[in-house]
Amino acid sequence: MNNYQLVSDYKFNETYRKSFNELAKLVFGIDFQEWYEKGCWNDNYICYSFADGDQIIANASISKMTLVANDKEYQAIQVGTVMTHPDYRHQGLSGKLINVIIDRYEKEYDFIYLFANNTVLDFYPKFGFKRVTESSFSLHISDRKRHTVKMNTLRRLDTNNENDFNLLKGFAAESIPVSSIWGVKNNEHLLMFYFILVFNDSIFYIEEEDVVVVFKQEGTHLHLFDLVSKRRVEMTKILDCIVTTEIEKVHFYFTPDYDDQNMQIDFITDKVDTLFVRPLLKVPTTHFLFPLTSHA
């Protein structure tokens, strides 16, 4: 094998960080620069990479976070940003980095997990990861809910506005899990990534509930991506603020703490990102969905 150097935790090394960013743009079309410049790359996101000279040629990053499942906490490592430069593929570099991460963290944390696309579903089981099926949650809106809309309580937030950005950063730092059934905390860096780079046009603040809501409306369907709050909020009140009269169905991108006879719950069989866990986590929850905004 070529004599590549294993490097890690180099967010303050400008040469490596810029090379990592170029690789991320090449492989995924993701530009981490603004996220870094705004101070959101913290110590809970660590890159493990191979470098050929000054060039990052392969990477697997980890995100440290806490999973809350049925009010019990688990310390977890999520693997993400797994990528190899096209000129350096078929050398087993990604596999070596996965093994480095497993060796480094498996004894310190309750489990390691990741989300894989359909092209690598056979790759991660080689490292002891087990495939786990998540569920989808959607709600058919009753007439009662659709007639109690309070859309005027919403204020759209913009991460390019300093005051809005500081508000969001405060929420991300102090947020509680979106669900006591299945949620995460200590994931400020990932929340800010989604605020800045993914959902900047879909973030709203409900002042009277003191909650940040991330959602989009498409026709008669509303896609609710996240609720970010510092205390437990009532889902009914949130829906009253965001569900307009034409909405017929709400899709949740997390596990809702909400008991409603109109809630439809189904196992997901065609998910773009498939969950893999090592070791297999035994929790008394049949249906769950990791919050989308916690995906690395």
CA distance 73 to 77: 13
- How many other C-beta atoms lie within 10 A of the C-beta of residue 272? 9
Mean pLDDT of 72-97: 97
Outline where 77-183 has alpha helix (H): 93-105, 143-146, 162-174
Strand partners, 212: 205, 228
β pairing state of 135-140 and 263-267: antiparallel
Q: Is residue 125 part of a domain?
A: yes
Statement to judge: residues 144 and 117 lie in one domain = no
CA atoms within 13 A on the CB side of 50: 22
Q: Round the average pLDDT of the chain to a whole number and report it.
A: 93
> Of 177, 133, 130, 72, which is closest to residue 289 (Cα–Cα)?
133
Q: Is residue 296 part of a domain?
A: no
Structure tokens at 187: 């994931």
Statement to judge: residues 50 and 172 lie in one domain = no
Statement to judge: residues 107 and 183 lie in one domain = no
Q: pLDDT digit string (tens) for 137-171?
A: 999 987 555 555 555 679 999 999 999 999 999 99
Q: Is residue 286 part of a domain?
A: yes
CA distance 224 to 138: 10
Q: pLDDT digit string (tens) for 100-139?
A: 999 999 999 999 999 999 888 899 999 999 999 999 999 9
Tally of domains in the chain: 2
In the prediction, which pLDDT does 256 show?
94
In the prediction, which pLDDT does 268 show?
93
Q: Is residue 37 part of a domain?
A: yes
Statement to judge: residues 129 and 161 lie in one domain = no
Q: pLDDT digit string (tens) for 269-287?
A: 888 899 999 987 776 668 9
Determine the distance from the C-alpha atom of residue 164 to the mean position of all C-alpha atoms in its chain, rounded to a whole number: 21
Going by pLDDT thresholds of 50, 70 and 90, the confidence category of residue 176 is: very high
In the prediction, which pLDDT does 272 show?
85
Q: Is the pLDDT of residue 260 over 70?
A: yes
Domain that holds residue 39: 5-133+269-290
Statement to judge: residues 21 and 128 lie in one domain = yes
Mean pLDDT of 197-211: 96
Statement to judge: residues 143 and 263 lie in one domain = yes
